């Protein structure tokens, strides 16, 4: 992959420009084949979901196709809310046409009768871009109706079990069964199996159909083919959005691409959003690959990374993420809501210099139980991130017991609101360190 393919150097300004740049050829190639062949081509490409879990996209489509049902739906998950991540909004702003082409191909492959795009009401620029592109692309072949659902700012809106609830007009409370089993508007005897795919996943699909699965596999790794749009924010010289082949090391992303730390500083840790363990410098050699990141005790997730240098207090960093998860936990599962809150409260006491060994023990004990009976993966992030932070920076946590921070610094919580002129702006959740 020599050229950026999703986030083009220049944003695409119209459908005509998109077509002139080769857009539409993926859909044209798709509809010359049977839907099952399209799903098989995507499976062969090895494309894995870019929304967090890295689930193989072709397999997901084939499993929904295999479920007997007269009605199937597709949901494009544009409800991006993972901390340290901005890539879906970036892709939509720059090239909404490719997302819509990917949607049309996916809908054709799974036999969807209707498509919903789930997006936060606050994402006004992206909603405008999508609406404009939808109006311009009404001539596209194999069209199925596409409806845009603008939803709440909740982190859980992005969890597919809650996404479908919001589309049905309810709150962002995850349901019990996943949408491929109990889909949109399901009733007894009518499961309406539903595929939920991330924006970036769908934006890759036209390229796979246009250039072939083998071409897609030429970049990336054996287990994680293709490229990814990475978000690099925090203590680096060049924070930004970067589309690169998978398999590149985290070290190269942070130091070469992101420019490394500022003069005289060293990178201390990288936090891959709120859903996995953090990575200390000893693991920066890990390739950006779904399986290898997991083997290193972390996750590739949605490709967003918050970088912290040696001036950052890791207790304050960990508290920021823990409080975010406690606030966003919906409370349907007691172990999650009470556990996330207890973890955040314990860390808060430690961070303020009034906590003791008991608090540290309580935080770790709650990490053991916070995921009990969970309906969704939110508390898994609390467990993995907090435990990895304490294990990696044990001395720093211990030094905080009964003492305020020796080097307080205001750390904005990296919940990204916007990106422009080489800078991220964050939603106003501040943690005083």
Ligand X SMILES: Cc1cc2nc3c(=O)[nH]c(=O)nc-3n(C[C@H](O)[C@H](O)[C@H](O)COP(=O)(O)O)c2cc1C
List the single partner that 336 binds among ligand SF4, ligand X, none, CB under 5 to 8 Å by kind. Answer: ligand SF4
Binding mask 60-79 for ligand X (x = CB under 6 A): -----------------x-x
Reduced to 3 states, what is the DSSP secondary structure of residue 416? strand
Q: What is the DSSP secondary-structure string of 220-273?
A: B-SSSBSEEEEEEEESSSS-EEEEEETT-BHHIIIIIIS--S-TT--EEEEE-T
Task: Tell me the C-alpha distance between 379 and 135, whole Å.
Answer: 40
List the single partner that 337 binds among ligand X, ligand SF4, none, CB under 5 to 8 Å by kind. Answer: ligand SF4
Instruction: Give the C-alpha distances (Å, rounded to integers) separating 304 from 128, 232, 276.
Output: 24, 6, 11
Smallest distance from the beta carbon of 278 to ligand SF4, in angstroms? 21
155 binds ligand X per the rule CB under 6 A: yes
Task: Tell me the C-alpha distance between 328 and 19, whole Å.
Answer: 41
Among positions 232, 306, 330, 416, the unique one binding ligand SF4 when judged by CB under 6 A = 330
Among left, alpha and beta (phi > 0; psi -120 to 50; other), residue 254 is: alpha
Q: Enter the DSSP assignment of 56.
A: B
How many chain residues are in contact with ligand SF4, going by CB under 6 A? Answer: 14
Contact 180, 64 (CB under 8 A): yes
Task: Tell me the C-alpha distance between 105 and 137, whole Å.
Answer: 14
User: Residue 150: which of 118, 194, 172, 110 has the closest Cα?
Assistant: 118
Among positions 331, 404, 406, 408, the unique one binding ligand SF4 when judged by CB under 6 A = 331
List the single partner that 79 binds among ligand X, ligand SF4, none, CB under 5 to 8 Å by kind. Answer: ligand X
303 binds ligand X per the rule CB under 6 A: no
List the single partner that 431 binds among ligand X, ligand SF4, none, CB under 5 to 8 Å by kind. Answer: none
Binding mask 142-181 for ligand SF4 (x = CB under 6 A): --------------x-----------------x-------
Instruction: Give the C-alpha distances (Å, rounded to integers) separating 299 from 156, 211, 404.
Output: 19, 29, 32
Q: Which is nearer to ligand X, 82 or 101 (CB)?
A: 82
Smallest distance from the beta carbon of 240 to ligand X, in angstroms? 20
Q: Which two tokens stand for residue 76?
A: 């494009």
53 binds ligand SF4 per the rule CB under 6 A: no
Helix (H) or strand (E) holding 405: none
Stretch that binds ligand SF4, among 127-135, 265-273, 333-341, 406-414 (CB under 6 A): 333-341
User: Residue 21: which of 32, 12, 29, 33 has the closest Cα?
Assistant: 12
193 binds ligand SF4 per the rule CB under 6 A: no
Q: Which two tokens stand for residue 82?
A: 């993972």
List the single partner that 204 binds among ligand SF4, ligand X, none, CB under 5 to 8 Å by kind. Answer: none
Among positions 93, 374, 387, 400, the unique one binding ligand SF4 when judged by CB under 6 A = 374
Among positions 63, 71, 332, 369, the unique one binding ligand SF4 when judged by CB under 6 A = 332
Binding mask 197-236 for ligand X (x = CB under 6 A): xx--x-----------------------------------
Smallest distance from the beta carbon of 14 to ligand X, in angstroms? 26
196 binds ligand X per the rule CB under 6 A: yes
Angle at 51 between CA 50 and CA 54, to 5 degrees: 55
260 binds ligand X per the rule CB under 6 A: no
Q: What is the DSSP secondary-structure string of 300-367?
A: -TTSEEEEEETTS-HHHHHHHHHHHHHHH--SSSHHHHHHHHHHHHHHHHHHTT---HHHHHHHHHHH
Smallest distance from the beta carbon of 314 to ligand SF4, in angstroms? 25
Helix (H) or strand (E) holding 368: helix 357-369
How many chain residues are in contact with ligand X, going by CB under 6 A? Answer: 23
**Residues in contact with ligand SF4 by the rule CB under 6 A:** 156, 174, 329-333, 336-337, 374-376, 378-379
**Residues in contact with ligand X by the rule CB under 6 A:** 49-53, 55, 77, 79-82, 155-156, 158-160, 196-198, 201, 376-378
């Amino acid at each position: 992959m020599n050229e950026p393919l999703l986030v083009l150097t220049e944003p695409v300004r119209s459908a005509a420009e998109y077509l002139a740049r080769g857009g539409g050829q993926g859909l044209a190639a798709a509809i010359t084949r049977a839907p099952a062949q399209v799903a098989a081509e995507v499976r062969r490409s090895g494309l894995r979901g870019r929304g967090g879990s890295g689930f193989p996209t072709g397999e997901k489509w084939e499993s929904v196709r295999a479920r007997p049902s007269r009605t199937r739906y597709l949901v494009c998950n544009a409800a991006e809310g993972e901390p340290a991540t901005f890539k879906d909004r970036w892709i939509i702003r720059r090239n909404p046409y490719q997302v819509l082409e990917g949607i049309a191909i996916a809908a054709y492959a799974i036999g969807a009768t209707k498509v919903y795009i789930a997006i936060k009401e606050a994402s006004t620029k992206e909603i405008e871009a999508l609406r404009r592109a939808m109006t311009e692309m009404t001539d596209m072949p194999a069209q199925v109706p596409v409806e845009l659902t603008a939803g709440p700012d909740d982190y859980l809106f992005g969890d597919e079990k809650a996404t479908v609830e919001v589309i049905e007009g309810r709150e962002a409370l995850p349901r019990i069964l996943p949408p491929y089993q109990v889909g949109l508007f399901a009733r007894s005897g009518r499961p309406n199996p539903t595929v939920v795919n991330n924006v970036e996943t769908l934006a890759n699909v036209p390229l796979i159909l246009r250039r072939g699965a083998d071409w897609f596999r030429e970049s990336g790794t054996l287990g994680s083919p293709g490229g990814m749009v990475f978000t690099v924010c925090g203590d680096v010289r060049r924070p930004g959005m970067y589309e690169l082949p998978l398999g590149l090391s985290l070290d190269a992303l942070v130091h070469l691409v992101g420019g490394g730390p500022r003069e005289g500083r060293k990178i201390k840790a990288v936090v891959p959003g709120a859903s996995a363990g953090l990575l200390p410098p000893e693991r920066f050699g890990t390739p950006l690959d779904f399986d290898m990141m997991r083997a290193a005790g972390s996750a590739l997730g949605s490709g967003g990374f918050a970088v912290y240098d040696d001036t950052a207090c890791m207790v304050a960093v960990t508290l920021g993420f823990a409080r975010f998860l406690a606030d966003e936990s919906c409370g349907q599962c007691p172990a999650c809501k009470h556990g996330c809150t207890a973890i955040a409260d314990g860390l808060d006491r430690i961070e303020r210099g009034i906590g003791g060994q008991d608090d540290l023990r309580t935080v770790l004990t709650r990490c053991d139980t916070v995921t009990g009976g969970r309906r969704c993966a939110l508390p898994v992030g609390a467990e993995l991130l907090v435990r990895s932070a304490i294990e990696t920076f044990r001395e720093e946590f211990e030094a905080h017991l009964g003492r305020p921070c020796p080097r307080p610094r205001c750390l904005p919580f990296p919940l990204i609101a916007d990106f422009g002129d080489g800078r991220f702006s964050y939603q106003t959740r501040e943690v005083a360190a």
